[in-house]
Structure 1
Amino acid sequence: MLLHAGHAVLAFAGVGLSQSSHRGNERVDLSWHPPKQTKLNNLTAVVDGDGVYGFIYNSSDTPDDVYGVYNWCNMPHIRKREYVKAPNEYELVFVEVIHRHHKRTPYSSNAFPVESYQWDCDDQGVYYHGEPFNGPKKATPAYWKGYASEVNPFVPSGWIGTCSFPQITSDGMTASWQHGEDLYAVYHDLLHFLPDRHNPAWRRKVAYRVTRNTITSQVAGMLIHGMWRTTERVPLLIQPDAVDSLEPRYPCPAARDTSSRLTNRGANPAWAAHLDAAKPLYAELDAASGVPAGDAGFHASLDHYYDNLSARQCHQKPLPCSEPKHAGDSADAGGCVTQDLADRVYRFGHWEYSHMYRGSRETLAASAASYGVWIAELAAHLRGAMAPEGDGNGGVVYFHNIAHDGSMSRLLSVLQLDEMVWPGMGSEVLFELLRKRGGGGGHFVRVLFGGRVLTSSNPSLGVMDMLPVETLLAYFDGLVGEGAALVVGKCNGSVAL
């Protein structure tokens, strides 16, 4: 569909109908375009392959000479060492960062019925306390410490230990701090864009936002100290849980139903084919884990197994073995999860995320609706930064969001990433708004994913390096409406996805 002078008309582009958005002289393609065909989204390669494409799953440390390679435990982000500056005739005006939280313990819902060892977090504190801003009465820093009662006869299934499941681990907190340090090194030390740490003006220039899931706040505290070296209080922006756009949490039944069909065996032959191909893998995993074959959560996708196994390996914990099933059985009667089994889980996981977020036109439609409010908020920030007085965002020039893999996946779906992966821990997307020095040359956007310029399959976006901002705004507006004007209708079904 072509939007032109306030009227909607149909336009042919090659074969079939193409959607476009028109803003001034800028015509932008709104159609879904498939990602590159690679081993990541080739089911035969997933089933018959070995390893995980050279990706890292057992360490947060990536050697400098290969930095940029996919590392599930600690994804690459911009660093001063690798950062490529924009041409000198351009100056940075505004930056928006969004990234996934850093590495954590697994979710309790992803635990095996009986875990063969404890997971303790005695080398850190996760603090929960409040304090009035005014008056002499201060709070004592109080943190949670899990314990098991000798009296309580009820024993939880799954993980046992002093951690919460989930919580950001000590290693994840260290990675969060380093992420903040690296961002400051680029935007202060290298580009002289952010104020100095000792200049209190930084508090007016930056903003941080988190979700209601406390792991994002755990990351924020460490990251902010990595950037600013402050132990003074810093506000974290947060929206009401029921309408949060960052996680996202606002109601969008049309997108939910579309996504559900994409992952429904009966409604999607491709999803059914991948589940059938995974049957031998499931049989071995179930035997080694003790998970019943009828457990719907573990068998709707490889998500639960992926989270359980990758969290262990990122923290150098052994892959699990099942408990003996009968008295007198040997310790390995149920079998163990081998590295080959874990690698197969990871390969299937990447296929699933590519299929769910980049596999069809419906993935773009669902992501644009379910993440459209955040997209519209980003667009509003870009417009605010271009306001004539230069103060359209209340003086904020750096906006930082800490989110989740579902947030990152929807955003990458909307941007039509040309090679979709499951966004690992700390995955980062940056939007840099630049303008020609001296004025008169317009504004441009660079979009970086994992520290490198993002390449989109959509021809209007392409290599997103010095893209005219009007192009990106027309694309966003065409999908979600300026000010998210289309999102409510798309979500409730009154406007077609």
Structure 2
Amino acid sequence: MLFRNRFLLLLALAALLAFVSLSLQFFHLIPLSAASKNGVSSKSRKRIMPAPVTEPPVMDPVYEALLYCNTPSVAERSMEGHAPHHFRLVSVHVLIRHGDRYPLYAIPRTKRPEIDCTLVANRKPYHPKLEAFVSHMARGSGASFESPLHSLPLYPSHPLCEMGELTQTGVVQHLQNGQLLRDIYLKKHKLLPSEWSEDHLYLETTGKSRTLQSGLALLYGFLPDFDWTKVFFRHQPSALFCSGSCYCPVRNQYLEKEQRRQYLLRLKNSQLERTYGEMAKVVDVPTKQLRAANPIDSLLCHFCHNVSFPCTRSGCIDMEHFKVLRTHQLEDERERREKKLYLGYALLGAHPILNQTISRMQRAAEGREEEIFALYSAHDVTLSPVLSALGLTGARFPRFAARLIFELWQDREKPSEHFVRILYNGMDVTFHTSFCQDHHKRPHKPMCPLENLVHFVRRDMFAALGSGSTNYYDACHKEEF
């Protein structure tokens, strides 16, 4: 009997020790594996840089750069398509930034980063539809594209990327975006009929190959092996998607004042000036020439593709230089949000595309089943003013392959009522917008009424300018500015 009691006691003690050990591992109080001689575990030794799992407590330029790169990895969790069961999805309007691209600028007297812009199946990042995408694009040379889009290549194909060219990473980013939207909007919500036609889509892109190719990659992920005869991409000459409403003198005056603010902020940053001087010595050019070459654009490409920063006989541009330049970018974005100059530019710059969007939403709400899926393939300078105009002050600067989505929903219990949701990179930001910040306090209406967005675009955007104007034309030509 005594032996049995001792055995049970020892068994209970062993179970307790096992529980404590597992608990300590769960809360990371002891390491999961033994460290190597240099203090780095065998599993983590291969990592050059940790993945951005949790957001750091203070601004970290490296973490922010990783988010900006948006390198495809695991499947993304998103909030698109979430609504109470009695709501019906009516239309979806997608505004994207093109995917990862080769730099637009070259650092003087350095070798260009060697990045292959052909699409290769056995090279990362990869997508299961990559080969099929290339094959389908090869059959689309006679498809309908508004001039001058028909002269652009439908997918990247240079062994050494050309300036500004979409990379394989950029293609995969938007194949993933398209597949994600397909799973939600087509498979779950049946947004498009099985026999959809050209009338159901509205596709528009700027005249750059990277935006056309990004739009095609997303469209292929969304509608695999689509019928080319049902697709028509419209050309948008302006990055603001302002069509025939681009002439706006007051908007340009806001932009000039905003650029002046940027210049003054740079002059105040002595560390930035020292860094430019050090980098200029490395490449043996005047500091002014290096600054004009916008080196951060090229360095971000090196960073995103894990390519070493440039070196010369005089030394190397290094991570500390990169951090200083990237930190200044982040500080500029923070100050820009705090000042009203950019907001004025954003309100006038974003109005045309927002006005187009609500017009399509209103037609869909009236029951017209055309242009119920709209795709605008654009740039960071397109998304950024739209985010600011909507009042999304906490939104990060548009990363590669960023997406901003407007969803229109109908309440089946009250069919005359329509609502909108705004999503940025999969996050529901509806109640962070300036036109719907307080609406979440009304639990009986879980979404933002469509009329809130309509009133904002048609009336409140002009009131926010404080100019007394009541329409876009008057706000753009106000002489007292």
- The TM-score, its normalising length taken from structure 2, stands at 0.70
Asked if residue 453 in structure 1 is aligned to residue 428 in structure 2, the reply is yes
Aligned counterpart for 2:258 among listed residues 258, 262, 266: 262
Distance in 1 between residues matched to 2:162 and 2:358, nearest whole Å: 36
CA RMSD after TM alignment: 3.8
Distance in 2 between residues matched to 1:244 and 1:458, nearest whole Å: 21
Aligned counterpart for 2:169 among listed residues 154, 168, 171: 171
Asked if residue 360 in structure 1 is aligned to residue 339 in structure 2, the reply is yes
Cα displacement (A) at 1:245: 1.8
Asked if residue 207 in structure 1 is aligned to residue 192 in structure 2, the reply is no
Distance in 1 between residues matched to 2:140 and 2:189, nearest whole Å: 37
Q: Which residue number in structure 2 is paired with residue 89 of structure 1?
A: 86
Aligned counterpart for 1:491 among listed residues 471, 476, 480: 476
Give the letter aligned to residue 414 of structure 2. Answer: G
Q: Which residue number in structure 1 is paired with residue 365 of structure 2?
A: 386
Cα displacement (A) at 1:227: 1.5
DSSP-derived class of the 1:85 partner: coil
Give the letter aligned to residue 374 of structure 1. Answer: I
Aligned counterpart for 1:60 among listed residues 68, 71, 75: 71
Asked if residue 376 in structure 1 is aligned to residue 355 in structure 2, the reply is yes
Distance in 2 between residues matched to 1:217 and 1:485, nearest whole Å: 35
**Percent of paired sites with the same residue:** 18
Asked if residue 398 in structure 1 is aligned to residue 377 in structure 2, the reply is no
Cα displacement (A) at 1:86: 0.8
* Alpha-carbon spacing, 1:128–1:305, altered in 2? closer, same or farther (3 Å): farther
Q: What CA deviation, in whole Å up to 9, does each residue of 1:337-396 have, x standing for no partner?
A: 22233233223222223434x232222211111222112111211211222xx01xx622
Give the letter aligned to residue 277 of structure 2. Answer: A
Which has the bigger relative contact order, CA under 8 A and spacing at least 6?
1
* Alpha-carbon spacing, 1:395–1:309, altered in 2? closer, same or farther (3 Å): same
Cα displacement (A) at 1:237: 3.6
Q: What CA deviation, in whole Å up to 9, does each residue of 1:18-42 have, x standing for no partner?
A: xxxxxxxxxxxxxxxxxxxxx99x9
CA contact (8 A) 2:117 2:165 kept: no
Cα displacement (A) at 1:283: 2.4
Q: Which residue number in structure 2 is paired with residue 158 of structure 1?
A: none
Q: Which residue number in structure 1 is paired with residue 455 of structure 2?
A: 474
- After TM superposition, list the pairs within 5 Å mapping 1:315-330 onto structure 2: 315-321=305-311, 323-324=312-313
Distance in 1 between residues matched to 2:236 and 2:421, nearest whole Å: 31
Q: Which residue number in structure 2 is paired with residue 181 of structure 1?
A: 179
Aligned counterpart for 2:275 among listed residues 249, 273, 281: 281
Q: Which residue number in structure 2 is paired with residue 350 of structure 1?
A: 330
CA contact (8 A) 1:128 1:143 kept: no
Cα displacement (A) at 1:255: 1.7
Aligned counterpart for 2:321 among listed residues 337, 341, 363: 341
Q: Which residue number in structure 2 is paired with residue 308 of structure 1?
A: 298
Give the letter aligned to residue 275 of structure 2. Answer: L
**Matched length:** 392
Distance in 1 between residues matched to 2:370 and 2:139, nearest whole Å: 31
Asked if residue 105 in structure 1 is aligned to residue 116 in structure 2, the reply is no
DSSP-derived class of the 1:295 partner: helix
Distance in 2 between residues matched to 1:474 and 1:342, nearest whole Å: 44
Distance in 2 between residues matched to 1:270 and 1:201, nearest whole Å: 51
Cα displacement (A) at 1:476: 1.0
DSSP-derived class of the 2:323 partner: helix
Task: Please identify which structure carries the higher helix content.
Answer: 2
Q: Which residue number in structure 2 is paired with residue 31 of structure 1?
A: none
- The TM-score, its normalising length taken from structure 1, stands at 0.68
DSSP-derived class of the 1:238 partner: strand
DSSP-derived class of the 2:234 partner: coil
* Alpha-carbon spacing, 1:60–1:268, altered in 2? closer, same or farther (3 Å): closer
Unaligned runs of 5+ in 1: 1-38, 69-77, 134-138, 147-160, 325-332
Q: Which residue number in structure 2 is paired with residue 14 of structure 1?
A: none
Cα displacement (A) at 1:320: 1.5
Cα displacement (A) at 1:414: 0.3
* Alpha-carbon spacing, 1:312–1:96, altered in 2? closer, same or farther (3 Å): same
* Alpha-carbon spacing, 1:227–1:243, altered in 2? closer, same or farther (3 Å): closer
Distance in 2 between residues matched to 1:190 and 1:142, nearest whole Å: 29
Cα displacement (A) at 1:225: 1.6
